[in-house]
């Protein structure tokens, strides 16, 4: 009887998966092999931007653990672009910061396969991955600008249009165009100066499209809008002496009710509003008092979760001190009206917080999905560091909420002016909510200064002074205002200035580091 053959020694492992950050060195090396001396290569910053903004749209194929092919893509609403667009325009110069999660189309911006593996259907696997992604997301089509790399061999014999016609009729073989036609793509038009550094294609590209036959328009969540208003209530919260947690709950519920009665999508409470609970605690030492305050964490979370659901409003619950593994953090919670919860740790700790309370900084910059789009929360001092706002904007945030607590007018103006600057330079909306009144018997929380407000970019489509609304300073009140996400989207494309689009990403970039490594 013959021995059983061990088939494992003949096995070859090929895998298609999403690209990860640890793959980037291999991807950078692969492109030098695939496109030697022909086109300007990716930069690491561009590839990192792809993974931060749209990780599920970036694929690679590995063979025996080695990356032998990759592709990149983003989502767009193609009706918003000129058919004669260039690669730089459709990719925001390779950084895909124009990626639109609500877009109708997947746009392919790069496919590359190692020359030694080009007979193994690597490109076909990558194209199939794109098609599956388009089907999963119920996208209308996949669009791409295809190179015609063999055209330089025929440029003296025929025009680019004639060359494309010959390839379509199978009279000429082109490694890219022929492959795309075989994979179900059709030619929409020919674009001149698509990739100026593509010498083989003489800068020309074919605009190609693959239609998703399973696309269901009436079931997609995406549709054109004339307006997409989001109503915000910023609460200028009075810090006054109370006798119990129930008193605190009554005051908080009153303002939640006010926001709900106004039909608000978001109610924003100020930073450190739970320090009001110290007015009935016995602790006098600031550090001891703060640790005593952390004992209310579960009650605080339960209270705001119930209010968000009961009053049908998303609540930014100010901020609260939380103890974790012996350290104290200043944490802002997002209580969604569907009952789910997220949180943002304060990242920059003021000298005052370190001195009196020994607060530790958080390490994660978060962007949160809500039923009104993506938002971010930057707590007080954090809004004064422009890098944070740029990072959350690049990750899709359209509104930045800033709960704050400041003692004097100078501190308040730092928060306000920086919040308005962030709205302008990132083409987003910002809202600030602060504390007023006093807690004379609570150490380090004796005086407050605030004028809460809701701010916009500065252009014709927005209020004249970039202010949706603002409270009168230093009184207990709220400000209610609408911000329109559709106007914001349009202004980013056609405003008097387009700050995000016009950034010199070839000269500078803001990079978020991975603290887990």
Q: Please identify every residue annotated as catalytic.
A: 271, 346, 380
DSSP letter string, 19-78: --GGGHHHHHHHHHHHSTTTSPPPPHHHHHHHHHH-GGG-EEEEETTEEEEEEEEEEE-G
Q: Determine contact, residues 343/331, Cβ cutoff 8 Å.
A: yes
Question: Taken in order 302, 305, 308, 311, is the CA torsion positive or negative?
Answer: negative
Quick check: helix, strand or coil at residue 422? Answer: helix
Rg of the chain in Å (alpha carbons): 27
Quick check: helix, strand or coil at residue 160? Answer: helix
CA angle 396, 397, 403 (to 5 degrees): 160
CB atoms under 10 Å from CB of 393, counted, come to 22
Between CA 437 and CA 439 the distance in angstroms is 7
The set of residues, in sequence order, having a beta carbon less than 8 Å from that of 14 and lying 6+ positions away, is 61, 62, 63, 64, 120
Between CA 132 and CA 59 the distance in angstroms is 12
Q: Within 13 Å, how many C-alpha atoms sit on residue 150's CB side?
A: 13
Between CA 275 and CA 286 the distance in angstroms is 11
Encoded tokens for 417 = 């002016």
Shortest CA distance to 114 belongs to which of 64, 169, 78? 64
Question: Taken in order 171, 172, 175, 176, is the CA torsion positive or negative?
Answer: negative
What are the residue ranges of helices labelled H in 137-265?
Answer: 160-168, 177-182, 245-261
């Amino acid at each position: 009887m013959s021995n059983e053959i061990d088939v494992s020694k003949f096995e070859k492992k090929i895998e298609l998966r999403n690209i990860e950050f640890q793959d980037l060195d291999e991807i950078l090396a692969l492109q030098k092999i695939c496109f030697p001396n022909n086109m300007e290569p990716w930069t690491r910053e561009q590839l990192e931007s792809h993974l931060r903004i749209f990780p599920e749209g970036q694929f690679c194929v590995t063979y025996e653990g080695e990356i032998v092919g990759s592709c990149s893509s983003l989502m767009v609403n193609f009706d918003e672009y000129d058919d004669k667009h260039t690669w730089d325009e459709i990719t925001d110069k390779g950084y895909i910061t124009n990626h639109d999660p609500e877009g109708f189309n997947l746009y392919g911006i790069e496919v590359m396969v190692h020359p030694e593996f080009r007979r193994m259907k690597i490109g076909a696997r990558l194209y199939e991955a794109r098609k599956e992604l388009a089907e999963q997301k119920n996208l209308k089509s996949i669009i791409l600008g295809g190179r015609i790399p063999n055209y330089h061999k025929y440029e003296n014999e025929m025009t680019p249009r004639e060359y494309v016609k010959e390839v379509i009729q199978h009279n000429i073989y082109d490694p890219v165009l022929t492959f795309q036609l075989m994979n179900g793509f059709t030619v929409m038009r020919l674009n001149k100066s698509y990739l100026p550094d593509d010498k083989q294609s003489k800068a020309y590209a074919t605009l190609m499209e693959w239609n998703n036959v399973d696309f269901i328009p009436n079931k997609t969540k995406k549709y054109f809008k004339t307006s997409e208003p989001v109503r915000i209530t910023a609460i200028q919260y009075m810090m006054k002496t109370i006798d119990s947690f129930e008193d605190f709950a009554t005051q908080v519920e009153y303002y939640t009710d006010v926001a709900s009665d106004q039909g608000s999508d978001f109610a924003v409470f100020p930073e450190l509003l739970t320090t009001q609970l110290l007015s009935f605690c016995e602790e006098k030492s600031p550090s001891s008092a703060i640790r005593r305050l952390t004992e209310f964490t579960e009650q605080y979370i339960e209270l705001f979760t119930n209010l968000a659901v009961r009053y049908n409003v998303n609540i930014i619950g100010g901020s609260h001190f939380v103890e974790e593994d012996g350290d104290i953090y200043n944490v802002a919670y997002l209580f969604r009206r569907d009952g789910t919860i997220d949180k943002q740790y304060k990242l920059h700790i003021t000298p005052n917080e370190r001195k009196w309370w020994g607060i530790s900084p958080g390490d994660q910059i978060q962007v949160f999905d809500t039923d009104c789009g993506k938002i971010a929360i930057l707590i007080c001092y954090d809004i004064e560091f422009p890098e944070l706002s740029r990072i959350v904007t690049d990750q899709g945030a359209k509104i930045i909420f800033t709960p704050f607590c400041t003692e004097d007018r100078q501190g308040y103006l730092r928060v306000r002016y920086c919040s308005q600057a962030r709205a302008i330079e990132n083409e987003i909306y910002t809202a600030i909510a602060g504390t007023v009144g006093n807690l004379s018997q609570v150490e380090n929380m004796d005086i407050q200064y605030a004028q809460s407000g809701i701010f916009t970019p500065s252009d014709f489509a927005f209020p004249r002074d970039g202010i949706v609304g603002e409270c009168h300073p230093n009184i207990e009140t709220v400000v209610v205002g609408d911000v329109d996400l559709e106007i914001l989207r349009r202004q980013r494309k056609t405003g008097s200035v387009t700050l995000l689009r016009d950034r010199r990403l070839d000269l500078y970039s803001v990079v978020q580091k991975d603290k887990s490594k």
